[in-house]
Amino acid sequence: LVTSGLPALGRRRRRGDTLVLAYHNVVPDDTAAFGDRSLHLPIARFRRQLEALRLTHDVVSLEQLDEPSSSARPRVAITFDDAYAGALGLGVPAVLELGLPATIFVAPDLLGRDAMWWDLLADPATGLAPAVRDHALETLRGEHEAIMAWARARALPQWSPPAEARIGTLEELRAAARRPGITLGLHTWSHPNLARLDHAEARAEVERTRDWLATNVGAPG
């Protein structure tokens, strides 16, 4: 299949297309499964994905997506949601080793937390139950404290994720943001489900985050 030329033909047909990859956490390879499992990618797999992307795509910053491309290859932008400590400490260096840009989407109210509800309520063996996820996001609007109170009231199992579930600190975020090619984006203030907020609530989540980033880290990209 590789020698047939079909992959190259496929990429030519996708010329002008853009892919935005939303990574979350990057963890050491020997980390046991935990939390919402799809969010926590071993570093070796992450590096292999970056190498493959570099061979087949033009890896660009989010800001460049609005610019016309003259390349024959499709474009891809790399992003990290939530500012997990592993994304800041392992993911960002891996991206920069290859000279690639990336954007970190920050929810300031999460910074420094040991773990979030989606990792605390996820069985390490099977992940987060769909019914729990749906109720947390739809009925409880993705609001961390309300979700954890609901879980305690119903005696739902609460797991103890490893240190790799930690959200990065302000200082870790600042250190990552100082690296060339790394930009910050708005990920709301407290990570609620925006589809369940009214207009005023959603606007406040975005504006508060924008102002906080400008004051504490630097204007978001």
Residue 103 contacts by C-beta under 8 Å, 6 or more apart in sequence? Answer: 61, 62, 77, 78, 79, 80, 182, 183, 184, 185, 221
B/e letters for 178-197, b = 16+ CB within 10 Å, e = fewer, are: eeeebbbbbbbbbbbbeeeb
Rg (Cα) of the chain, in Å, rounded?
19
Query: Could you give the 3-state DSSP secondary structure of residue 41?
Result: strand
Q: Per-residue confidence of the chain (221 residues) as pLDDT tens digits?
A: 445 444 444 444 445 678 999 999 999 999 999 999 999 999 999 999 999 999 999 999 999 988 888 888 999 999 999 999 999 999 999 999 999 999 999 999 999 999 999 999 999 999 999 999 999 999 999 999 999 999 999 999 999 999 999 999 999 999 999 999 999 999 999 999 999 999 999 999 999 999 999 999 976 76
pLDDT at residue number 220: 73
CA of 80: how far to CAs of 24, 136, 187, in Å? 5, 22, 10
Instruction: State both tokens at 206.
Output: 């975005």
**This prediction's pTM:** 0.89
Model pLDDT, residue 192 = 98
Confidence at residue 70, expressed as pLDDT on a 0 to 100 scale: 83
